Amino acid sequence: DGGITQSPKYLFRKEGQNVTLSCEQNLNHDAMYWYRQDPGQGLRLIYYSQIVNDFQKGDIAEGYSVSREKKESFPLTVTSAQKNPTAFYLCASSIDLGLAGFNEQFFGPGTRLTVL
């Protein structure tokens, strides 16, 4: 089955600890994205990557880091510098159809991170 997987589904972090959220896709999509959602809020962009070995900061990148070593994988690390990391994290991917196309984004099931 093609799709996007995220793991773990639930994650608990202690103060001062770094944690890594996994995102994998087998859709052969070029671009991948990380969004953060707080209760009752919309989605805010953390990082995105349009091609392997390249990524750009989004609106709220501080305290987060990413890597894109493989096309199908885009892990997100929440560092101890992120002061309020409790949130729902969503990974998405899209295929590059060029300027004439559109980048419908497909979302993974999400990871709920809680700081203890």
Partner 1 sequence: ELKVEQNPLFLSMQEGKNYTIYCNYSTTSDRLYWYRQDPGKSLESLFVLLSNGAVKQEGRLMASLDTKARLSTLHITAAVHDLSATYFCAVTLSGNTPLVFGKGTRLSVIA
The residue from 33, 55, 64, 74 that contacts partner 1 (CB under 8 A) is 33
Comparison of 16 and 42: residue with beta carbon closer to partner 1: 42
Could you say which residues in the range 39-98 bind partner 1, by CB under 8 A? 40-45, 48, 50, 58, 90, 94, 96, 98
According to the binding rule CB under 8 A, does residue 103 interact with partner 1? yes
* Nearest distance in Å: CB 110, partner 1: 5
Is the distance from CB of 48 to CB of 23 less than 8 angstroms?
no
How many residues sit in the footprint of partner 1 (CB under 8 A)? 28
DSSP category for residue 47: E
Helix boundaries (H) for 2-48: none
The yes or no reply on residue 3 touching partner 1 (CB under 8 A) is no
Going from the C-alpha of 111 to that of each of 53, 75, 91, the distances in angstroms are 24, 12, 9
Assign 77 to helix, strand or coil: strand
Closest CA to 29 of 1, 71, 70: 71
Strand, helix or coil at 56? strand
Q: Which residues bind partner 1 (CB under 8 A)?
A: 30-31, 33, 35, 40-45, 48, 50, 58, 90, 94, 96, 98-99, 101-110
